[in-house]
Amino acid sequence: LCKHRKLNELDIGHEYYAQGDRLNVAETEFGTFGLMICADGFAKDNVISRSLCYMGADIILSPSAWAVPADHDNEKEPYGDIWRKVYTQIAKEFSTAVVGVSNVGLITDGPWKDRLCIGCSLAIDASGNEILQAPYGVDAECILYIDVKPIQRPARGTDWNKHFKENDTD
């Protein structure tokens, strides 16, 4: 349906990955899907997420590998706030659901060797409500299901400017 290469690469990945050069969305019977990968979600001013929304995405999917140092203490520093903040902002501004899914397990090679991928997949609905956060942990493998229903988007094209002004979403 759609192919995406990460645009907002972490510096540790430059040696290993080809940088992307485009964004796209896929129209399906279930809605219009946008695709971004992990750090694309926190590009400056959420430019990638916002662009997907301007392109008509009802739902943005973001496969990720959320990794922490082996000594990360989730009780002291709960994982997920960076994603919750950007996903919620985009969802509220554009009435677009955002779902980030992460793997689990030990990273065994490369620049992040010995870091832990810890799951914590996160889903925010089109109203900006958190509808799911998966368990945290290197062994927290699970398959979870959610119903995501696209809603009528409030604007298109330059009508977004009017929508933002009327709804003070800045």
Q: What is the pLDDT of residue 168?
A: 72
Residue 169: per-residue pLDDT: 58
Question: For residue 145, what pLDDT is reported?
Answer: 96
Q: How confident is the prediction along the chain (170 residues), in pLDDT tens digits per residue? A: 888 989 999 888 888 888 999 999 999 999 999 999 999 999 999 999 999 999 999 999 999 999 999 999 999 999 999 999 999 999 999 999 999 999 999 999 999 999 999 999 999 999 999 999 999 999 999 999 999 988 888 888 889 989 998 887 55
DSSP string, the chain: ------SS--GGGTTT-PPP----EEEETTEEEEE--GGGGGSGGGHHHHHHHHTT-SEEEEEE--EE-TT--TTTS-TTHHHHHHHHHHHHHHT-EEEEEE-EEE--SSTTTT-EEEB--EEE-TTS-EEEEPPBSTT--------------S--TTHHHHHHHHHT--
What confidence score (pLDDT) does residue 108 get? Answer: 97
pTM: 0.92
Please, what CATH class does the domain formed by 11-167 belong to?
A: alpha beta
* Domain locations along the chain: 11-167
